[in-house]
Amino acid sequence: MTNPLPQGAVIGILGGGQLGRMLSVAAARLGFRTHIFEPGANPPASHVADTVTTAPYEDEAALTAFGNAVDVITYEFENVPTSALDLLGALAPIHPGREALRISQDRITEKDFLSGLGLSVAPYAAVDDAASMQAAIAAVGAPSILKTRRFGYDGKGQARLKTSADADQALADMAGAPAVLEGFIDFSAEISVIAARSPTGEVACFDPGENVHEGGILRKTTVPANVSASLRMDGVLLAGRILNALDYVGVMGVELFVTPKGLVVNEIAPRVHNSGHWTQNGCTVDQFEQHIRAIAGWPLGNGQRHSDVVMENLIGSDMDRVPNLAAQAETALHLYGKAEVKDGRKMGHVNRITGPASA
Amino acid sequence: MTNPLPQGAVIGILGGGQLGRMLSVAAARLGFRTHIFEPGANPPASHVADTVTTAPYEDEAALTAFGNAVDVITYEFENVPTSALDLLGALAPIHPGREALRISQDRITEKDFLSGLGLSVAPYAAVDDAASMQAAIAAVGAPSILKTRRFGYDGKGQARLKTSADADQALADMAGAPAVLEGFIDFSAEISVIAARSPTGEVACFDPGENVHEGGILRKTTVPANVSASLRMDGVLLAGRILNALDYVGVMGVELFVTPKGLVVNEIAPRVHNSGHWTQNGCTVDQFEQHIRAIAGWPLGNGQRHSDVVMENLIGSDMDRVPNLAAQAETALHLYGKAEVKDGRKMGHVNRITGPASA
């Protein structure tokens, strides 16, 4: 895809959640139409999309029709089944590409890849059974955290080990799924870099945000992060190295731990990222438009920030706060139109502008 | 409508052009779904709407189904046929209300209303035939401008009179339509105030922008306007007086001439307005969301500006500039997804952030 996508071209999006929804709006803003592929009925993205296909990822006829109807394909989550990608890849370009997906779908593959680039990651060891669990504890120690290798999100599929005595329970929690034991990192802050790369190799990063998680779910991102300028620059350079190594096209979220020894990569996500939602009200070109620009072969925005922002997720019953939030000055609501409020479900987020961009 | 609209409520929008499109996106951002009613096929708003009805405004069955499917109705243009409003008004609340539409649909009714509020307007006189044309010239003089009383937009339905010798040609240009002769105003600048009012009487205005027209079409809006702070305040107060007099609910665009004797009202538009597009990149809550908040009975945004902005319309072949504009820093593109480029057709606009908000 060397030519920029023209006006009216159709962008196919796998997944109809809030990320697909905000990608769809950004695509429309640049004159594109969107086609959402999503198994569930009435997904958030369908409210702002031109076309919606409701079908499972195993429906080859639906996938084929979708692939033939779009000019480029992207996705809002990294666990798209390989069989669907095989079929779709023959019909339209998929960005970000298969290699980025393959790597980010498996925590061990991802850590091997990052280590191979010379980046720091937490100590880790594969865990498939009681024997490898013992070996892993010997290598990684405790406290540590056991995670499924695949399909984890928002803290699901994770078990903490305070001491090695927690090993049996943690292993049982995995329910037989291949896992990885990760050493606990003593970090002073978690930051993330939202980085973009175009097909021509142009790279642009947004300023790192500082994240606070609660119960494994992102609660808040503050920009600028309260870390030194040199650490922020380290984060940006490191993200660029990852993108270039993958010949990446699109936006990636890179989560980093700030430690006394420097930055440690927690994980990467080959898509727009919750910790980049602040860009909607802090930048001229936000992460969603940046992703669309990249996969459409357009020039990237420069990522510059015009305002300081605090982004807070609205989770479950946080929706009760909406009337109050709506009445607050300099507060931008972004609600996802989800039919049902559930505990732990991301229902929206709020960006609070805290002032003009500070250093 | 005293209770705020809840999440998932459906907002009906009459008209599927770019204003309906941007209203639809704003509505989605607050968790609402939208239903567009538009006679033309594949309208810009349909790309970002939940539901679209394609039918003429004379189709009573389609209007009835639409009216029964939505919780509140708004519109993107002021010339909605009265018969459609009569039918729809019995099915769902319409905001802004009928009185604002009635007044803004007829230039003479509008000027009578504004004069009645004690506001300055250009000298004017009704013109229906050659005799009233002569009387109007005697009253208003020349240079002056003859306009159809109804259905004018973007400079259409207008004829300029340099001297009274141009009267016959100008009258012929009206093709028999009832018209109004307006005295030429010697203005140093044209500004507009985008004002909003909620059902509880809360009023919020955005900072006045300074407009440049070319060939009767808005070319550029610059914020802040290069006029004194006291004149800007006059504009805001005057807009508030208009909204209160109409018990108005929603956003209104008020176009004003800056003259040595103060502000003269050019015209009012009971809807979001092209000269308010800068708010998308200059404010936390833009004019589209402000309109949705008002008609949904939500608290209004405060209208505060975080950045200075220059908005430029992309008209017809201006679309050739898009690749270049996309590569410029701090430049936000907003393209309307219109299938065909035509001379004089508004295809998009671009907001250039020129710095943090100045006084």
Residue B302 has its nearest CB partner, among A33, A323, A329, at: A329
Binding-face residues of B in 185-214 toward A, CB within 8 A = none
* Contact status of A302 with chain B (Cβ, < 8 Å): yes
pLDDT of residue A2: 59
Q: Which residues of A touch B301 (CB under 8 A)?
A: 329
Query: What is the phi-psi region of residue B353: left when phi exceeds 0, alpha when psi lies from -120 to 50, beta otherwise?
Result: beta
Beta-carbon count within 10 A of B331 CB: 20
Supply φ then ψ for residue A31, to 5 degrees.
Answer: 90, 10
Binned average pLDDT, 10 residues per bin, chain A of 359 residues: 86 98 98 98 97 98 98 94 95 96 94 97 95 94 93 78 92 92 95 97 97 94 96 96 98 97 96 98 97 98 95 97 96 96 96 94
Q: Hey, what amino acid is at A289? A: E
- The alpha-carbon gap from A296 to the nearest alpha carbon of chain B, in Å, equals 12
Task: Among B306, B307, B324, B353, pick the best mutation site for testing chain A contact (most A Cβ within 10 A).
Answer: B306
* Contact status of B305 with chain A (Cβ, < 8 Å): no
Closest residue on chain B to A202 (Cα): B327
Binding-face residues of B in 15-74 toward A, CB within 8 A = 21, 24-25, 28-34, 46-50
Task: Among B2, B32, B47, pick the best mutation site for testing chain A contact (most A Cβ within 10 A).
Answer: B47
> Which candidate, B114, B137, B256, places its Cα nearest to that of B185?
B256
Instruction: Give the integer Cα–Cα distance in Å for B143 and B162.
Output: 5
**DSSP states along A220-237:** EEEES-SS-HHHHHHHHH
Q: Which residue has the tokens 């009971």?
A: B270
Distances (CA, A) of B191 to A114, B121, B212, B308: 56, 14, 9, 15
Radius of gyration, CA atoms only, chain B: 20
Q: Which residue has the tokens 């979708």?
A: A66
Indicate the pTM of the whole model: 0.95
User: Cβ of A48 and B32 within 8 Å?
Assistant: no
Low-confidence ranges of chain B (pLDDT < 70): 1-2, 153-155
CA angle A338, B299, B208 (to 5 degrees): 115
pLDDT of residue B1: 46
Residue A323 has its nearest CB partner, among B4, B306, B331, at: B4
Closest residue on chain B to A42 (Cα): B50
pLDDT of residue B153: 66
Instruction: Give the integer Cα–Cα distance in Å for A235 and B249.
Output: 48
Residue A348 has its nearest CB partner, among B31, B50, B353, at: B31
Residue B328 burial (10 A CB sphere; 0-12, 13-18, 19+): middle
User: Cβ of A7 and B319 within 8 Å?
Assistant: yes
Q: Which residues of A touch B4 (CB under 8 A)?
A: 323
Q: Which residues of A touch B21 (CB under 8 A)?
A: 28
* pLDDT one-digit tens code per residue, A222-270: 999 999 999 999 999 999 999 999 999 999 999 999 999 999 999 999 9
pLDDT of residue B225: 97
- For the record, the structure tokens of A119 come out as 């980046």
> Which candidate, A175, A123, A121, A180, places its Cα nearest to that of A146?
A180
